[in-house]
Structure 1
Amino acid sequence: MRLKGKTAVCTAAGQGIGRSVAEAFLREGATVHASDLDAEKLRGLDSLGDVHTTQLDVTDGQAVAAYVDSLPAPQVLFNCAGYVHHGTVLDCDDESWDFSFNLNVTAMHRMIRGLLPSMRDAGGGSIINMSSAASSIKAAPNRYVYMASKAAVIGMTRSVAVDFIRQGIRCNAICPGTVESPSLEGRIAELGRSVGGAEKAREMFIERQPMGRLGRPEEVAALAVWLASDESDFVTGTTQLIDGGWSL
């Protein structure tokens, strides 16, 4: 019950890391406001605790504004919505660039801007942004706009941290390596079409992990719980790597 008495807002909570974090927050006693583009994926969370689920397109500025206005002041904001574009600069047209930044960066900006005032006025809280080891930390091939957007998340995180450090707001970024998720399965299937099958593609993702395995969503969720809890009260503005040594 490390989050007992706290209210947490979680985006992209329907599957993968977002789902695991929402479940972990509920198990730790938080009241969770969970949203996802596909509301059906939020089913079952109510069996774990006090949860309020909402269908939300975080790229819709008006929808986000209405959503945050309906929420009580949270103590935790977990920004998870994101998209991995595959390709180099030559594969990234304006539409791909705009979509990646709208989902990976602007959506977080809107959630933070909308909820930070009430968090601050209620005594402070913890903002946790999903970035990636593939950003300003580690270069990954064929991840041009993804890396650019996730590096922007790190800059945004540090800016919020330094601007509101004396107002009770902590802001940190989680930077995972390769983690088992529906998103990864999609990338494995895509890569498999060019390398001789999904099994070969999966092996390639595993081979780049020094630990010899992929990360688990539950491992990222455990880090998110710590950042959300009072145990990390002296931690802000950090990039928390959880990548199995990939960035070494």
Structure 2
Amino acid sequence: MKIISMIPARYAASRFPGKLMQDLQGKPVILRTYEATVNTGLFDEVFVVTDSDEIYQTITSNGGKAIMSKAVHECGSDRIAEAVADLDIDIVVNVQGDEPMTDRDSLAKVIEVFRDDAEKEIDLASLMTPITDWEEISDPNTVKVIVDNRNFAMYFSRSPIPYPRAKDTGVHYYKHKGIYAFRKNAILDFTRLPMLPLEATEKIEAIRFLEYGKKIKMVETYTEGIEIDTPEDLVKANKIWK
């Protein structure tokens, strides 16, 4: 089974433009993410796929592998789908470019899902982490996921799910972490299928897979990591890295 990682890297960002090229202890964020992903030793190849000449040159001039997108893409999954269309691979893992503190154990867990899937029932796998703080559970910037008794995703939402009409049931809340592992056919299907109303309403691309009947296996992890979405996040990341 050939397994690669793709790191989608868009220069523009609504909350923190150019964040992937910001300095993180002497190197740009995207280079730190690329090197951390390579250093896991989990992948046959690792690529950054980008719309930015600056990001492309940063990776390639430091000995890395990068691919320039040919089209304009709305989301990372579309960018990855274009990049892998002609590659001979089985599984592609989407690592977020703004998460330089890549956790090897979490990545290994989503890959292992496919090694154990003899019936090829699973189209993609992703990560979730338990959350207990009600402020975070209520935060629309935190995407929540609910799963069935086999940990297959039932729905993703920016609202608290499930709604706590009864508060003494022992239900757990989970935050979705945006690392995905796809079968090649699943990621290619994603880019061919039009967006439907639920995805358009929530602005969560994982919902498209559910709307078209794809099966998403969720893997629990307790590692939070650092996602650099704001200048304050970058300050925090520099302190931790140092």
What is the TM-score normalised by the length of structure 1?
A: 0.36
Which of the pair is proportionally richer in helix?
Answer: 1
Which of the pair is proportionally richer in strand?
Answer: 2
What is the TM-score normalised by the length of structure 2?
A: 0.37
